[in-house]
Amino acid sequence: MRQLYYTLQTLIRGRKSNVIKTISLTLGLFVGILLFAKIAFELNYNRDYKEPENLCTIMSYYTIQGVKNGPVNIVMGPVSQTIAEAFPEEVEYATTVRYEGQASYYIGENPFTYETVYGDTLFFQTTGITVLEGNVKELANPDMIFISEEFAKKAFGNENPIGKTVMKDKTRECTVRGVFKHVSENNSLRPHVVISFANVFKYMKMYFGWNGGDSFMGVVRLRSGADLEKMNARMDAVIESHMEFNPEKNGWGVQYRLEKANDAYLNDPGLRMRLMIVSVLGLSLLLIAALNYVLISVSSLTARAKGIGVHKCNGATTGDIFGLFMYETGIIIGVSLIFVAILIFTFRGVIEDVLETSLTGLFVWKVMWAPALVVLFLFMVSGVLPGRMFSKIPVSQVFRRYTEGRQGWKRPLLFVQFTGVSFIFGLLCVVIVQYRQVTTYDLGYQTEGLATAYQYFDNREVARATIVNLPMVEDIAFSWVDIGYGLSGDFVGERGSKMLFSSRFNLCDYNYVPILGIKIKEGKNIDGPDQVLVNEEYVRLMHWTDSPIGKRSQSSTAGEAIIVGVMEDFVDNNLFIGVQPVIFIGRTGAQGCITVRLKAPYRESVKALNEAVKEAFPTRNIEFTYMPDRMLKKYDSTRRFRDMVLLTFASILLITLMGLFGYINDEVRRRSKEIAIRKVNGAEAYDILSLLSKGMARIAVPAVIIGVICSYFIGKEWLLQFERFRMELSIPLFLLVAIAILFLIFGTVILKSWHIANDDPVNSIKNE
């Protein structure tokens, strides 16, 4: 208790420096806890299922044109059951899943939008999601659904949901046959609605065989002790008994492998890269916050030396002094954690958006070890280093003045801080420039003024006439899929021969290309049946040196249609994907996606359009989205990463500036007599400022160079995820980064030294 009393008294006396320490640690803990909690959240992925170590995902590796691609978690329909039958001793359950995404459900006029999958009777046993109520065998029948406990509570309150009916998209009546336990956010399969897989055949008419239709996910649950490596070694032989793997003969081939669900998620190169960068950001921030605390603490060494000597004269041991500083650090960290909690709850919405995770999902007991390690790291580094230094002060300091020597220990601390702030600022500039360029990139078609929706109509022409005659609509076109979501794949090659390459395709109305504003480089637009448009990449991969106009298409979907035009290459889906061959097939009966070109003002027209179609089609759930907004959302992950780096940079910059202010003040105080003597001997203010700046330059210049070089290489790795377009990492950009940081450092030095450089030297000599 006595040590605690002395600690509180010391904190009160040194409240000015303790406020700076608290701010520094609050910033470090705030961002550090969030970053490392996010890392732990990702590392703990796919752990919320029953016996997650036995849960596997089927991964596909496609070999096309001699190049092996993958892995991707899509399979052909029969793969899961085939694996279960081939490995009865190793496989307990296997299921095929069709992912739908967000779907709308109506109970009366009340809408509910939830994540949806199509699952069979083995879905829950395989995935390990707990069924709270209901018989899973009901999923063998069409129009049966199981809902999550969250959906059940929101939709039906305290009523039993079993037997209740809901309307899916206002067009299909479904019966609730079961309720399952909510699955936490850090899991790949976390549906709120599971619809019977029979609907895939009844309504969607999807192909389920070995000749294509790889639109499913395959999930396998192994028995305990199953040897995954031995199973994968036999996998090719099992699949080849149903489908030949001969890329030389067929032009393509697919191989399947089982991967543990957690490994399949963590093996994604993009995720590994992000985790690596976030780890570097977090470690940089924590190290700088801790070293800044040490810098501020040790700066008070001269002032506190006599007090420590008095403690030792009264019987305090080295261990007592060390404990005193550990108590001090613990109290300051405790106060900082209170402020961290306040910041987290104050900015909850922003944090959840940046981390793409709710706070309740982020701070669960399974990942609390990460924030605990952050706190422990800061406590040990911030407390141990100054504690050991102060505890070694001899008792003789009661009788004479203590001096700090050459101050060599301060320079490495500043060096680390300058390196960290330069590195993160350089990376931030790369992310900001890339994000700006991808969001303003010329897609090859005009999104402004376009709105899209998905819907099938019994009478397409009546629906077309109804929508096109609305006052805010300029034109309308139907297609199979939305160009902004990404097109489906199609094999290109002569019928019965080997595949030449995989192309993207769309079935569309004749006016689809003009509405989008896609430029036709050669030929004309489709205006009749059995006509197709191809893009430049399609022509290049076909190795045609003459005009393709009039040639027969060689895709499995288009058949023997005639190529009437060549489109300029455009962005299919997003810039994370490289240039792909595309074929547009003219079909007057195409359905699925509705694309409308609106009259200005566009955003007001979208709102008016949705109100109009709601009134015109009351039994259907049609909602148009403005295409520019939807395309921008494709780069939300880049925006979130930018915001994360920006938050880290702002924190590190503030911490570094506080450390720099303290260092300059200490240097000016320590060298005040030297400065006064120089001024007496004729030195001007410029000479004094130059003297202090030269000392700082020896620390700052090499630190900034190292930080900027690191940001170049890390930024280069981060840019690899953009297949279609990457900004040029030019030397001038990083030179500007270095100049900006150096300008900030030397500006701070001059600002803080200006008073002493212009002060009367007599005042300094008097103080000495």
The helix/strand count (H/E) of the chain reads as: 26, 21
Contact 284, 714 (CB under 8 A): no
Residue 445 corresponds to which amino acid? Y
Contact 147, 179 (CB under 8 A): yes
Task: Summarize pLDDT for 707-722 with one digit per residue, the tens.
Answer: 999 999 999 999 999 9
**Could you tell me the two tokens for 229?**
């490596």
Task: Summarize pLDDT for 113-123 with one digit per residue, the tens.
Answer: 999 999 999 99
pLDDT value at position 606? 96
Contact 76, 216 (CB under 8 A): yes
**Could you tell me the two tokens for 91?**
């496989």
Q: How far apart are the first and last CA of the chain?
A: 39
Q: What is the DSSP letter of 216?
A: B
Listed residue (428, 424, 341) closest to 34, CA to CA: 341
With a cut of 70, say whether residue 139 has pLDDT above it.
Answer: yes
**What mean pLDDT comes out for the span 353-364?**
89
Task: Summarize pLDDT for 23-42 with one digit per residue, the tens.
Answer: 889 999 999 999 999 999 99
Please, what is the Cα angle at 551 between 549 and 556, to 5 degrees? 125
On average, the pLDDT of the chain sits at 86
- The three state secondary structure string of 14-68 is CHHHHHHHHHHHHHHHHHHHHHHHHHHHHHCCCCCCCCHHHEEEEEEEEEECCEE
CA distance linking residue 666 with residue 410, whole number of Å:
10
Between 217 and 69, residue with greater pLDDT: 217
Give the pLDDT band of residue 402 (cuts 50, 70, 90): very low
CA distance linking residue 136 with residue 129, whole number of Å:
12
pLDDT value at position 15? 57
CA distance linking residue 232 with residue 236, whole number of Å:
8
pLDDT value at position 672? 61
DSSP string, 306-326: HHHHHHHHTT--HHHHHHHHH
Mean pLDDT check: name the lowest of 5-9, 82-86, 439-443, 562-566: 5-9
CA distance linking residue 695 with residue 705, whole number of Å:
17
The secondary structure element, H or E, covering residue 743 is helix 731-758
Burial 723-741 (b: 16+ CB within 10 A, else e): ebebbebeeebbeebbeeb
Residue 232 corresponds to which amino acid? N
Contact 63, 255 (CB under 8 A): yes
Residue 519: CB atoms within 10 Å: 13
Give the pLDDT band of residue 345 (cuts 50, 70, 90): very high
Give the pLDDT band of residue 555 (cuts 50, 70, 90): confident
- Note if the bond before 71 is cis, omega within 30 degrees: yes
Question: Which single residue is written with the structure tokens 């300058």?
Answer: 418
Share of the chain above pLDDT 90, in %: 53
**Could you tell me the two tokens for 742?**
């150096």
- Neighbour-count burial of 185, counting CB atoms closer than 10 A to its CB (0-12 exposed, 13-18 middle, 19+ buried): middle
pLDDT value at position 746? 87
Contacts of 623 (CB under 8 A, 6+ apart): 453, 610
In terms of DSSP bridges, do strands 582-586 and 531-535 run parallel, antiparallel, or are they unpaired? antiparallel
CA distance linking residue 495 with residue 493, whole number of Å:
6
Model pTM score: 0.86
Residue 602 corresponds to which amino acid? Y
Between 250 and 131, residue with greater pLDDT: 131
- Note if the bond before 111 is cis, omega within 30 degrees: no
Contacts of 407 (CB under 8 A, 6+ apart): 666, 667, 670
CA distance linking residue 713 with residue 710, whole number of Å:
5
Mean pLDDT check: name the lowest of 62-71, 226-235, 247-256, 390-399: 390-399
SS3 content of the chain, % helix, strand, coil (to 5): 50, 20, 30
CA distance linking residue 272 with residue 266, whole number of Å:
7
Residue 323 corresponds to which amino acid? G
Contact 250, 244 (CB under 8 A): yes
Contact 49, 123 (CB under 8 A): no
pLDDT value at position 406? 46
pLDDT value at position 405? 46
pLDDT value at position 176? 96
Give the pLDDT band of residue 2 (cuts 50, 70, 90): low
**What mean pLDDT comes out for the span 129-148?**
94
**What mean pLDDT comes out for the span 715-730?**
91
Residue 252: how many CA atoms within 13 Å on its side-chain side?
19
- The three state secondary structure string of 510-563 is CCHHHHHCCCEEEECCCCCCCEEEEEHHHHHHHCCCCCCCCCECCECCCCCCEE
Q: What is the CA radius of gyration of the chain?
A: 33
pLDDT value at position 641? 93
Highest mean pLDDT (candidates 318-327, 376-385, 624-633, 678-687) = 624-633
Contacts of 121 (CB under 8 A, 6+ apart): 136, 137, 139, 140
pLDDT value at position 530? 86
Between 694 and 142, residue with greater pLDDT: 142
With a cut of 50, say whether residue 654 has pLDDT above it.
Answer: yes
Listed residue (492, 512, 513, 613) closest to 561, CA to CA: 492
Give the pLDDT band of residue 665 (cuts 50, 70, 90): confident
Task: Summarize pLDDT for 673-683 with one digit per residue, the tens.
Answer: 666 666 556 66
Name the phi and psi angles at 323, rounded to 5.
-65, -35
**What mean pLDDT comes out for the span 205-219?**
86
pLDDT value at position 22? 87
pLDDT value at position 546? 92
Mean pLDDT check: name the lowest of 91-100, 323-332, 739-748: 323-332
